[in-house]
Amino acid sequence: MEITTEMIKELRNATGAGVLDCRKALTEAGGDYQKAVDYLREKGMATAAKRADRDASQGVVELYSHGNGRVGVMVEVNCETDFVGRSEGFRKFAHEVALQIAASAPKYVAESEIPESVLEHEKEIAIARAREEGKPENMLEKIAAGRLEKFKDEACLLRQPYIRDEGLTIEKMLHQNIGSLGENIVIRRFRRWELGERKDE
């Protein structure tokens, strides 16, 4: 796969690593962005990875109301210093995250937050559905695994494609902002309310 200047630039913005290091990482990863980030992290070159251990307790609780008050979102986004917390770039990122939550209704921030019982339940549904569709018995596990990944893509905020740019996930956007703002940033938690929904939904 051809490694384009655009790919290198995107990885460089997200990780803060050098141009040559980014090119090498993308080459090693066969053009796969996430594998390239992991490669740079393993080599200790990714700024985002270096900053991930730093305490992020400043930031903002962003409130967003959508559709004349039909959907409300509250999201806590943290950074390391009050200075960055008040910056336009950080506030814009927090607002975009709130917008994403309003539009795409994720249930969790990250994959690690999904309870094992939920994953088991989703897997059972996927197997039953595949069986109902007449798929071969020996393929059920593989089909269920694929559908489980799709469920995670929809349910986890960090795995969702950004509503303004489908080629960018929220996790990539987070890494880009860590690189450009120079601090660890954490999407801590969120709540989303929709008019008329029951409490157990």
3-state SS assignment for residue 105: coil
pTM, two decimals, is 0.69
- 24 in a structural domain: yes
The token pair at 78 is 């943290």
Q: What is the pLDDT of residue 51?
A: 60
**63, 193 Cβ separation under 8 angstroms:** no
Q: How many CA atoms lie within 13 A of 146 on its CB side?
A: 7
Q: What is the pLDDT of residue 50?
A: 57
Pairing relationship of beta strands 165-169 and 186-194 according to DSSP bridges = unpaired
Cβ-Cβ contacts under 8 Å for 123 (sequence gap 6 or more): 144, 148
Whether residue 31 sits in one domain with residue 12: yes
| Whether the predicted pLDDT of 61 surpasses 60 | yes
Q: How many domains does the chain have?
A: 3
**155, 104 Cβ separation under 8 angstroms:** no
Whether residue 163 sits in one domain with residue 131: no
Whether residue 94 sits in one domain with residue 13: no
* Choice between 39 and 158, residue whose per-residue pLDDT is larger: 158
Amino acid at 166: E
Whether residue 176 sits in one domain with residue 88: yes
- 185 in a structural domain: yes
Q: What is the pLDDT of residue 65?
A: 93
3-state SS assignment for residue 75: strand
How far is residue 29's CA from residue 185's CA, in Å, rounded to a whole number?
25
How far is residue 145's CA from residue 160's CA, in Å, rounded to a whole number?
18
pLDDT digits 0-9 by tens, 123-151: 999 999 988 888 888 888 899 899 999 99
Q: What is the pLDDT of residue 201?
A: 47
pLDDT digits 0-9 by tens, 12-52: 777 777 788 888 889 989 988 888 878 877 766 655 655 66
**118, 108 Cβ separation under 8 angstroms:** no
Which residues constitute the domain of residue 46? Answer: 5-51
Whether residue 163 sits in one domain with residue 106: yes
**Closest of 191, 201, 184, 156 to residue 73, by C-alpha:** 191
Query: Is residue 6 very low, low, confident or very high in pLDDT (cuts 50, 70, 90)?
Result: confident
Conformational region of residue 182, where left means phi above 0, alpha means psi within -120 to 50, and beta covers everything else:
left
| Whether the predicted pLDDT of 199 surpasses 70 | no
| Whether the predicted pLDDT of 192 surpasses 90 | yes
- 199 in a structural domain: no
pLDDT digits 0-9 by tens, 85-129: 999 999 999 999 999 999 999 999 999 999 999 999 999 999 999
Whether residue 98 sits in one domain with residue 75: yes
Whether residue 104 sits in one domain with residue 69: yes
- 201 in a structural domain: no
Whether residue 47 sits in one domain with residue 133: no
Whether residue 15 sits in one domain with residue 105: no
Whether residue 129 sits in one domain with residue 32: no
Q: What is the pLDDT of residue 49?
A: 57
- 103 in a structural domain: yes
Strands (E), the chain: 58-66, 71-79, 161-162, 165-169, 186-194
